[in-house]
Structure 1
Amino acid sequence: MDILAGYAPLQIGVALLAAFGSAFVRGLTGFGMAILLVPVLALAMVPVDAVLLANFLSLFIGLVDIRRLVQTAERSAWTLCLLVLLFTPAGLWALAVTSPDLARFVIALIALSAFVAIYLPRASDLPPGRATTAGVGVLSGLMTGYAGMPGPPVVPYYVRRDLPRATAKASMLLVFTAAGLAGLGSGAALGVLDWRLAILALLLFPAVVLGNKLGERASDAVGDRAWRIAVGIVLGGAAGAALWRLV
């Protein structure tokens, strides 16, 4: 296809494998798709394109299940969604003016932070205060724009509390869906969105749907402690590999 002429077969192949694997983790845990996907994509394409491609895929897969997410998510998720929408443009602008090598390094560090967050002690089941919620929303918006990763602040916000897994997963996924929309809107407004990425995202989407479905099935058979450990290992491996490649 002429519209994909700018992407080498290796780039498309890497994107396909990364999309499937990260979507599996998303279905298993409710998070991790962007955290895993963006560092890998950023090794095969310009970081801005990697972030925006991840935004397309996050939005597409989120819209597939949007009704359940809206019905199950905690009310705090709507506050986070609003803050993500407001602060994503600033993060994307920072990415656009950052050198590719530095951007890849920062993205890898953000992925590493998610690995650390998985193993933080659990908090109570009480909702965090307004200041904490505001801080998580602002930071998540900035990370959405700069790295396509709203997850590092959002994941511990929900996972470290004793919430039902269904509520925590739906809340995180609702925020991530809004983050995908925010990232794409910001990219278009700033003039850095290559619309060929939408076609590439559509080509990758079947792999995302399949990976997500298989992950959801696996989630039913995995205990809470087991999935936390497994995902932590995967996230740490992804961040470590990205850092090793850069160094």
Structure 2
Amino acid sequence: MTLPDGTFALLMLVALGSWFQTLTGFGLGLIVVGAASALGLPLAGVATFVNLVSLPQNALALRGCGTHIDWRLAAAATLGLLPAVVLGLLLLEQLDATAALALQALLGALVLHAALGLLRRPRPLAQPSSTPSFVLSGLAGGLMGGLFGMAGPPLILHFYRQPLDVARIRSALLVVFTAMSLWRTLASAAQGHLDTTLALQAGAALPVMAVATQLARRLPPPLSQAGLRRLAYGVLWVLGAWLLIDALRRLVP
């Protein structure tokens, strides 16, 4: 059985997303879903595909990082995230198209504003945030994930503002997003959304993902802690701008 058209471009996106996610703790889903949508790649069930690739990618990126993981913070964020994804999906069913786009524009503007401010001053907070604040960041991320398929921004902003080593932030985010990918994969399987095409594409992506992940682990770019924070905030700035522009484009006839 041959792979569908567009698979090569998809594999290149997986390579870029895996490399970036290994460095920062996020990015695989944002890069693959965003670019695949913009390029019009023929991928049925892009979110399910990303979840299938994310599970082994996160495991490979986390190998040997057990001592860096702050399980308390990761568990708190996951506690808010998983039920909120379901809540976001239920809200999406109740909102009409105009209300959903207006909410997307508002969230895009908020992410854009927050990321711009942090780009100017990438220094972390003086004191760590409370544990309940991580539950709330997971709740906000889960709502965004259910409504728009993008759970990352609230979690990334909150974690990267903490006075923690970037390695600890990256590891905690990878744990949280692993839990979310597993949750979504199980839901997709229960709904019968896993088919042969997705399995073939995910299988073809695994060696590409593994090579990109190992390259990022062994040959990371020479960026300081502040540089990595700026990189994370820059990607969030782009994401916020995309959410805002996409919503306004579809709202204004």
- The bucket for the TM-score relative to the shorter chain is 0.7 to 0.9
Q: State whether structure 2 residue 79 is matched by structure 1 residue 82.
A: yes
The residue type paired with residue 182 of structure 1 is W
Kindly state the Cα deviation for residue 20 of structure 1 after the two structures are TM-superposed: 1.2
The residue type paired with residue 18 of structure 1 is L
Cα distance in structure 2, aligned partners of 1:50 and 1:117: 28
Give the structure 2 partner of residue 144 of structure 1.
145
Indicate the structure (1 or 2) with the bigger Cα radius of gyration.
Answer: 2
User: How many residues get paired?
Assistant: 241
Give the structure 2 partner of residue 50 of structure 1.
46
Cα distance in structure 2, aligned partners of 1:47 and 1:99: 26
Percent sequence identity over aligned pairs: 24
Give the structure 2 partner of residue 177 of structure 1.
178
TM, length-normalised to structure 1: 0.76
Q: Find the residue that maps to 1:142 and give its secondary structure.
A: helix
Cα distance in structure 2, aligned partners of 1:33 and 1:111: 19
Kindly state the Cα deviation for residue 65 of structure 1 after the two structures are TM-superposed: 4.4
Residues 20/59 of structure 1: CA separation in 2 closer, same or farther (3 Å cut): same
TM, length-normalised to structure 2: 0.74
The residue type paired with residue 84 of structure 2 is F
Pick from 11, 14, 19 the counterpart of residue 16 of structure 1. 11
Contact 2:105 2:245 survives alignment (8 Å): no
Contact 1:31 1:151 survives alignment (8 Å): yes
CA displacement, residues 76-103 of structure 1 (integer Å, 9 cap, x when unaligned)? 1012223323232333456689899998
Give the structure 1 partner of residue 205 of structure 2.
204
Kindly state the Cα deviation for residue 67 of structure 1 after the two structures are TM-superposed: 5.2
The residue type paired with residue 52 of structure 1 is T
Cα distance in structure 2, aligned partners of 1:91 and 1:46: 26
Contact 2:11 2:208 survives alignment (8 Å): yes
The residue type paired with residue 51 of structure 1 is A
Cα distance in structure 2, aligned partners of 1:204 and 1:107: 30
How large is the Cα RMSD of the aligned pairs? 3.8
Return 5+ residue gaps in structure 2 as ranges: none
Cα distance in structure 1, aligned partners of 2:29 and 2:209: 12
Cα distance in structure 1, aligned partners of 2:245 and 2:111: 17
Kindly state the Cα deviation for residue 142 of structure 1 after the two structures are TM-superposed: 2.8
The residue type paired with residue 62 of structure 1 is N
